């Protein structure tokens, strides 16, 4: 039975890769109670990026998906898992409490604006002749740079996310590459830099570094996040706050008068 499962996964290593990242995200959600709700939203917001896989095939890679679909369940799982992990790893390891405010339409509008700018930069650079992966690197630099100019105080969130996410992503990716070497054949080697780290194309690690740095900034902008309070107070407030509760003032703390418009909880 085990041999059959491993044999099946060897034919679909992208499925194994996505599944491992989803497992890491699930563990993070279980362990980090105060981050669970915003991390799930981060994953849901990130899932539509699965469609971007169409831009990477065949220039960057040719993944084998279950059913041979152009956009498969693996892409959705990968995008959800990396989105959730990026937020968990940017906020939880530092132990710094983050006040999260989610007003659904305002949040989606801000997130859509960041995504539109990033996609426009990437497509423009690609149209001008840049490779698709470097084009997305450039888009992350532009979006991340603009958000840091807007909120310089969020640099710790970005740095923490970059270092922790690239570390976990590298560990997961090296594990899958070692267990299922066929995954390396899915990449279009002639369009890569030819540099590998433990068998993993360096492009993947550069992407992870950028994604871990920038995606939490996009979420912080969308969630109107601020660093506030003590970890103990944050945990108490998070435990008492429902997902779509009445909104409260950014700076007044967990006992401020309610006002309509969205949801707010503290996460630390």
- Condensed to tens digits (0 to 9), the pLDDT of residues 21-30 reads 999 999 999 9
**Residues 223 and 215: beta-carbon distance below 8 Å:** no
Residue 246: the pLDDT is 29
Q: Half-sphere exposure of 134 toward its Cβ, with a 13 Å CA cutoff? A: 10
- DSSP-assigned letters across all residues of 134-155: HHHHHHHHHHHHHHHHH-GGGH
**pLDDT < 70 regions, the chain:** 1-3, 5-6, 8, 93-97, 227-268
Residue 153: the pLDDT is 87
Mean pLDDT of the chain: 83
**Residues 53 and 62: beta-carbon distance below 8 Å:** no
Say whether pTM exceeds 0.85.
no
Residue 98: the pLDDT is 76
Cis preceding-peptide flag for 58 (omega within 30 of 0): yes
Q: Which residues of 163-186 are buried (b: 16+ CB within 10 A; e: fewer)?
A: bbbbebbbebbeebbebbeebeee
Residues 6+ apart with CB under 8 A from 109: none
**Residues 245 and 122: beta-carbon distance below 8 Å:** no
Element (H, E) at 264: strand 263-267
Place of tokens 């990033």: 118
Residue 244: the pLDDT is 31
Question: Which DSSP letter does residue 94 get?
Answer: T
Question: Which of 143, 173, 139, 170 is closest to 158 using CA atoms?
Answer: 143
Q: Which residues of 244-267 are buried (b: 16+ CB within 10 A; e: fewer)?
A: eeebbeeeeebeeeeeeebbbbbb
Supply φ then ψ for residue 267, to 5 degrees.
Answer: -135, 140
Residue 2: the pLDDT is 66
Alpha carbon distance 131, 117 (integer Å): 18
Residue 202: the pLDDT is 95
């Amino acid at each position: 039975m085990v041999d059959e499962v491993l044999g099946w996964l060897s034919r679909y290593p992208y499925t194994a890769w996505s599944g491992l990242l989803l497992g890491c995200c699930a563990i993070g959600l279980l362990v980090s109670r105060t981050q669970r709700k915003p991390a799930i939203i981060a994953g849901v917001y990130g899932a539509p990026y699965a469609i971007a896989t169409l831009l990477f095939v065949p220039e960057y890679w040719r993944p084998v998906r279950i059913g041979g679909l152009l956009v498969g369940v693996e892409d959705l799982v990968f995008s959800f898992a990396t989105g959730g992990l990026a937020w968990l790893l940017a906020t939880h390891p530092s132990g710094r409490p983050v006040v999260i405010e989610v007003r659904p339409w305002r949040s989606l509008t801000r997130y859509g604006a960041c995504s539109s700018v990033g996609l426009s930069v990437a497509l423009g650079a690609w149209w001008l002749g840049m490779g698709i992966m470097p084009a997305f690197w450039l888009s992350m630099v532009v979006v991340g740079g603009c958000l840091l100019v807007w909120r310089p105080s969020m640099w710790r969130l970005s740095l923490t996310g970059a270092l922790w996410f690239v570390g976990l992503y590298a560990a997961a990716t090296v594990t899958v590459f070692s267990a299922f070497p066929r995954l390396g054949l899915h990449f279009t080697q002639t369009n890569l830099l030819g540099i590998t780290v433990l068998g993993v194309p360096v492009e993947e690690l550069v992407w992870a570094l950028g994604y871990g740095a920038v995606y939490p900034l996009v979420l912080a902008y969308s969630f109107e996040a601020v660093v506030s309070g003590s970890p103990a107070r944050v945990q108490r407030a998070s435990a008492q706050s429902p997902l779509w509760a009445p909104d409260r003032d950014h700076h007044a703390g967990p006992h401020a008068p309610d006002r309509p418009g969205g949801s707010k909880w503290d996460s630390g």
